[in-house]
Chains A and B, each alone.
Chain A
Amino acid sequence: MTERFEVLEHTADVGLRARAPTREEVFEALGEGLATLQGAWFPDGGTERDVEVEAPDQAALLVSWLDELLYLHETEDAVFTGLAVDRVDDTTLSARVRLSPRGDRELEGVGVKAATYHRVKVAREPGGGWNAQVYLDV
């Protein structure tokens, strides 16, 4: 299966880009991209929890969404088993995140520190659909 996101080259860090028919799917794909880079994407089982994020605009919302995932991953000491973004508007996001205890798993990931505002973009595609990109500090 092809990945729903694309990894962008950056000398020191890593970028992620996604295109999808809806903004929700784009946010979902980038969340999955982050979890994958972190070596913490194990899509099976887990416990669901609701996530709500707010920001002044949609670009900041994308950064906050990914930061929320990093926060959960670290403080819950958990891996991601599923992500469903139910609704995104310009300033708020509602999602369901499935987490499973990390247990003994060694995470083979880049060690993402945070999402940055550098070249962050969420935009409607001219031909319909959405695209977004974000750079992560690793």
Chain B
Amino acid sequence: MKLEKLEPFVWRIPQDAVPGMRVPGIVFATEEMAEKAVEDRAVEQVANVATLPGIVRASYAMPDIHWGYGFPIGGVAATDVEAGGVVSPGGVGFDIACGVRLVRSELEWERDVKDRISDLVHTLGQRVPRGIGTKGRMRLSRGDMEKVLREGVRFPLGRGVGWEEDAEFCEDHGVLEDARPEAVSDRAIERGAPQLGSLGAGNHFLEVQVVEEVFNEHAANAMGLFLGQVCVMLHSGSRGMGHQTCTDFLKVIDRVMAKLGIEVPDRQLACVPVEHEAAQDYLGAMYAAANFARANRHVLTDGVRESFEQVLRRSARDMGLYLVYDVAHNLAKIEEYTVDGERKKLCVHRKGATRAFGPHHPELPARYAPIGQPVIIPGSMGTASYVLVGTEQATERSFSSTCHGAGRAMSRTKARKMMTGPELRTKLEGQGITLAASQWKLLAEEAPYAYKDVSQVVDACEGAGLSKKVARLRPVGVVKG
């Protein structure tokens, strides 16, 4: 499949690339990334998404694009709700509302934390449940589960877990009001009940990081970030609750789609018009899973604060462990945009892509109105992570979306063949990174060399006008799921 270069970081997939495309594809990438996306066949998936009924403008891919299932990872697609536009559970993925949050501090690395990092990582490793099938920090009854699904972070806050102001700095203030717990299956509730406040496995992690470069003082100030500062980044999702919800609705939507006679090039793209009852049930259940994901990261943050308190013997408030922002990168939401001069209600799918509202967007907390929405981009283990802000330009360019991470470049098997887990541990420790992993054997699957260079990814996003760099953080302690 051939890509046409439109601008230095913008590539077009012509509308005749695969049969049935309703709009062209747009890939934001450097030349090298674009070539890799073609080779990887992820570009074909961008083209497949362009066949979804009601899709408007284009099927987009962010610079961290790689081969997914159905949608590419890094895919963004918006459909016109009032013109038969569809929602596709595959466009959100199994880990509904998987996302990242950044907690800042008033601590300086050299002065306050460096000497205690081993203890800190060890304590975080103990206080943050992680790995396959782990039980979380809170175990919930069925009634409590329904509350979490409806109330998001308000539920743990009501139990005295976390700080009231945390909610303000969470996407949607930590709760999607349109959630419908009654649309969630018993199985999803059963899977989620023991898991609230658990990190999960695979690429989920928690890192102690240090701000090593500030690109935008104004935005960094608004977020409370400064050079040499210690922060904590946390990447987790909706656990078994979200996985089960996607699994359940893929079956439902697959069946309804067949009845409606909608055809898609990949069964994982199964979709139905947003206004259909099945889609409404899915959206309600998916929002409930998103509430669970936010509450999960909120409860995990409590474990982070406790660990800092235990090791540094100061109160979390005194250490200034405030939430900078919490934002998802696997979600579909109803948002309004102007398309062809008309204001439209769109169902915006972001699958491995982050919402990135520009300055003065009404949904931003007042503190961030002048700078735009903070976007948190985790690098691969052992490499830098970034904090970005959304731009006004991205509204037009990508339905206010940007990248979500480094993006994988190598399969897990290949990554494991290059180095063993213990070898990688030694290497990372040689770089001054303290590590706690739940499984050393498979550590190398998440090795930095298995990912694209996150710096190139965020530079491509900036080059394409999707977001702007604010700060770069380097890891000093890694707790792997």
Contacts and interface: CB of A to CB of B under 8 A. Distances in A.
Interface of A: 7, 9-14, 38-40, 55-56, 59-60, 64, 67, 70-71, 73-75, 77, 102, 106-111, 113-120, 135, 137-138
Given A12-B408, A108-B442, A111-B201, A118 B69 contact: yes
A59 B246 CA distance: 17
A55 B247 CA distance: 13
B94 A39 contact: no
B20 to A, nearest CB: 18
B268 A117 contact: yes
A114 B247 contact: yes
Contacts of A71: 187, 191, 244
Contact of A111 (B247, B251, B409, B481): B481
A14 B201 CA distance: 15
Given A71-B191, A110-B201, A111-B200, A10 B438 contact: no
Interface string B435-454: 00011011001000000000
3 cross-chain pairs, A with B, having the tightest CB-CB distances, nearest first: A111-B201, A118-B69, A117-B267
A55 B250 CA distance: 12
Nearest to A75: B190
A38 B240 CA distance: 14
Interface residues of B, number: 49
Interface string B82-124: 0000000010011100000000000000000000000000000
B251 A11 contact: no
Judged by DSSP, the binding face of A is loop
24 contacts: A7-B413, A9-B411, A10-B67, A11-B411, A12-B67, A14-B412, A56-B258, A60-B251, A60-B254, A71-B191, A74-B133, A75-B190, A106-B131, A107-B132, A110-B442, A110-B445, A111-B202, A111-B204, A116-B69, A116-B70, A117-B266, A117-B270, A118-B266, A137-B94
Contacts of B411: 9-11, 14
A135 B69 contact: yes
Given A107-B131, A110-B201, A117-B266, 13 more contacts: A9-B411, A10-B411, A13-B68, A77-B133, A108-B439, A109-B442, A111-B202, A111-B481, A114-B94, A116-B70, A117-B69, A118-B267, A137-B69
